[in-house]
Structure 1
Amino acid sequence: MPIDPLSEGKEDTGPDSYVLDKEEKKKKDFSDESRVEIPEATDMARDGDLSGALERLLALEKRARLGGDVRTVSETALVIVKLCFELEHWEELNANITLLCKRRGQYKQVQVKVIQEGAERVSKIKDKGVKLQLIETLRTVSEGKIYVEAERARLTMELSRMKEAEGDIASAADILQEEQVETYGAMNKREKLDYLLEQVRLCLDKQDYVRALIIAKKVNRKTIEEGDLEDIKVRFYRLLIRYYSHEKDPLELARAYSAIFRTPGIQEHPEDWEPELTSAVVMLAISPFDNHQVDLVHKMLQEEKLEQLPEYKSLLTHFVTDELAQWPLPEHESITQHPLLADSKDWYLPMLRDRVIQHDIRVVAKFYTRISAARLAQMLQLSKDESEKYLCDMVTSTTSERLIAKIDRPAGVITFRGRKTANDHLSEWTADISELLGLVEKTCHIIHKEHAIHKAHAAQRLATDS
C-alpha cells in the first residue's frame, strides 16, 4: 500500500497510538518520588495543613496513574484516606474517596483498596451521622462494580443494622433486599447464607411474608446440612417455623421441627432435642390427612428417642390404627402441658381436636357402609348437628382427606359408599369373571390330578396281583 507523503512527519493520534502510549507509561516508576513526597505530605497534614498535603498527594497520584505505576497510586490513595480519618476531617474523607474512585482511568486495584480501607474503618467511627455518611459514600462509589460486591454487601448490612437499631424495620428490610448475594462469587458460603437469613428475618419482622418465602427458597437445603453450618441450619428452620406458624401450615412446621431435631449438635443433649421432637409430633398430629402426613407419621414412629416419650408416641399411634380415638384422648392431660397446646385459645389445640374427630369418621367409614346419624354421633361423642358438620366438611373437602358419603336426613341414615359409575360396574364384573375363570381352571387341575393318582394306584394293584 503506498504511503501518503502528506502524512509523513505527523503525529499518530489514532487508538493504536493510545495503546502504545499507555504501554510506554507503564514503564515509569514513581517509587523514589513517593518515598519523598508521602512522608513530607504526612508531616504537613499533622502540622495542620491538610489541604496542602492533599494537593501534593493528589498531584503525585495523578502523575503515577498517568505513568502506569499502580503500586504508587495505591499507596498514595491509602495515605490520603488514612490521613483524613486520622485527623477526623470527615467531609474531606468522603470527597476524596469519591474523587479517587471516579477519576478517569483509575485502576480497579486502587478502587478496591480505597473501598476496603474505608469499609474497615466504618466500625471505628462513633458518631452515627458521620458513620452513616461514610457508608453512603462507599456504597455510592461501589455501586455496579462487581469487584467490590462483597464490600458493598457488608456495608449494606451495617446500614441495615443501623436502621433496625433506630426502630425503622421497614427501611432496614428494604435496604438489605437490594443485594442479591446468592450471585456473588466474592463471598464465602457461610457469609452468603447468613446474609440471606438476615433478609428473611427482617421480612418476617416487617410482616412481608410473601417476600420472606421467596428469599427462603434461595437457601440450598443440601448446603446447610454440612457439618460446619449447623448453626445456620437451625436459624434457617427457626425462621421457617415463624413463617409457617403465621400461615398455619402444620405439616411444614413438623418438617421444620424434625430437621432441627435431626441436627447432630441438637441430638447430643436431651434438653435440646426433646422440645423439638415433641413439637414435631404435635405438628404431625394436627396435620391434614394425606399421603405425606401418613408417611412422616410412620417414619417418626420408628424414631428410637420417641420411646422415651410414651405419651407422644401414643398420640401418633392413634392416627395409624383403625380404632376410634375419641376426644379427649387418654393422654390429654400430659400432652396439653406442651407449650403449643397449653393455650386453648390458640389454633393448635382446636385443630388437634378436629383431626381426632376426622380420624374417627374415617375409621367408621371403613367398617360401615350405612349407619344412623344418631349412632355416628354417639361414637364420636358429639351432638348430631356437630357430627354432621364434620362429615359435611370432609365430603366437600378438596384435599386428599375428602370422604365419599351421602346423608339421608329424613331417614337419619348416612351411606359411606358412593354411587358406582358404568366403568366401576364393568371393572367389578371383569374382576368377578376373572375370579370365576381362575376357580374353574383350579378345579380342572385338581380333577386331572385325581385322575392321575387313581390311574397310578390302579397300575400298582395290577402289578401286585400279577
Structure 2
Amino acid sequence: LMIQYDLHEGNYLEVSRHYNQIYTTKSISEDAAKWPGVLQNILLYLVLSPFDNEQSDMLHRVQRDHNLEKLELCTRLAKGFTTMELTRWPAVESVYGPEFRKTDVFSAQTDDGAARWMTLRDRVIEHNIRVIAKYYTRATITRLTELLDLGADDVEAFLSRAVVAGTIYARVDRPAGAVSFAKPREGEEQLNAWASDVGKLLGLVEKTTHLIAKEEIVNKIARAI
C-alpha cells in the first residue's frame, strides 16, 4: 500500500526504501526466486530518485551488497551512477533498454513505465552534468550539446535545474556561448591563494639563487685547480 502511494506521489527514494524493508525480511532474503526482483527494484527506484546525500549514501550501500554482483545489468547500472565518468544516454538505451523495459518499473506497455524511462534519462543527464562540472572549469555550449546529447536550449534548462538544486555551480555566458563551472573565490580566499602562489614563487627564486651560487663556487674551484 505504501509503495503504491509513494509511486503515485513520485517519491522514488521512499519506494526504494520500502523495497529495501521487504528485501531484508527472511522470507525474501533466503528465497533465491524472490530476492533478485526485489533488489533490482531497490536499485531502479534509487537511480530514479533525485541526487542528494541520502540518495548517494543509499546507492553506495546497495552497491556494496554482494548479491548485486549476481545481477550483471544492475551492477553495471549502479557503477555508472557512482563513478565520476560520463554515461551517454544512447548507450544506456542500447544496453539496458531491452531488459529493463520489460520490467514493471520501465514497462514500454504503460504510460507510467514510459514516464519513468524518461526520468531515468534525466537522471543520466544530471549525473553527466555533475561529472562535467567536476572536470571542466569552462566549456562551450556546443561542446556540452555533444557531451550531453542534447540541444542548446535543453542544456541550459538542465544546467539551471542543477544550479537551483545546488548540485553544481554554473554561470552561462550567452554572448560567448560558454558555461563557467569555476565558482568565484571570496576576497579572503583569493588573497590567501595569491599569497600561497607568491610564497611558492619566492621559494623557487630562493632555490634557483642557491643553485646558481653553488654552480659559481664549483666553477671557481675548477679554475683554481
TM-score (norm 1): 0.40
Which residue of 2 is the match for residue 312 of structure 1?
74
Question: Larger Rg: 1 or 2?
Answer: 1
Q: Which has the higher contact order (CA 8 A, sep 6+)?
A: 2
% same residue: 34
Say if 2:213 is the partner of 1:428: no
Specify which of 160, 168, 174 is matched with residue 409 of structure 1: 174
Question: Secondary structure of the equivalent of 2:130?
Answer: helix
Letter in 1 for 2:70: Q
Aligned pairs for 1:7-406 (under 5 A) are 239-328=1-90, 329=92, 330-343=95-108, 345-346=111-112, 347-397=115-165, 400-401=166-167, 403-406=168-171
In 2, the alpha carbon distance for the partners of 1:374 and 1:304 equals: 41
Q: How far did 1:435 drift?
A: 7.6
Q: How far did 1:396 drift?
A: 2.3
Q: How far did 1:254 drift?
A: 1.1
Q: How far did 1:245 drift?
A: 1.3
In 2, the alpha carbon distance for the partners of 1:272 and 1:435 equals: 63
In 2, the alpha carbon distance for the partners of 1:345 and 1:242 equals: 15
In 2, the alpha carbon distance for the partners of 1:244 and 1:428 equals: 48
Question: Secondary structure of the equivalent of 1:419?
Answer: coil
In 1, the alpha carbon distance for the partners of 2:33 and 2:198 equals: 60
Query: Structure 1 residues 433, 375: closer, same or farther in 2, change over 3 A?
Result: closer
| Structure 2: segments with no counterpart, 5+ residues | 208-225
Letter in 2 for 1:345: D
Query: Structure 1 residues 410, 275: closer, same or farther in 2, change over 3 A?
Result: same
Letter in 1 for 2:119: M
| Residues matched between the structures, number | 198
Q: CA RMSD in A?
A: 2.3
| Structure 1: segments with no counterpart, 5+ residues | 1-238, 444-466
Letter in 2 for 1:387: V
Q: What's the CA shift string for 1:43-84, capped at 9, x where partnerless?
A: xxxxxxxxxxxxxxxxxxxxxxxxxxxxxxxxxxxxxxxxxx
Letter in 2 for 1:252: E
Query: Structure 1 residues 426, 341: closer, same or farther in 2, change over 3 A?
Result: same
In 2, the alpha carbon distance for the partners of 1:427 and 1:264 equals: 57
In 1, the alpha carbon distance for the partners of 2:71 and 2:148 equals: 27
Q: How far did 1:433 drift?
A: 7.2
Q: How far did 1:289 drift?
A: 1.1
TM-score (norm 2): 0.80
- Is the 1:312–1:335 contact (alpha carbons within 8 Å) kept by the matching residues of 2? no
Letter in 1 for 2:174: R
Q: How far did 1:418 drift?
A: 2.1
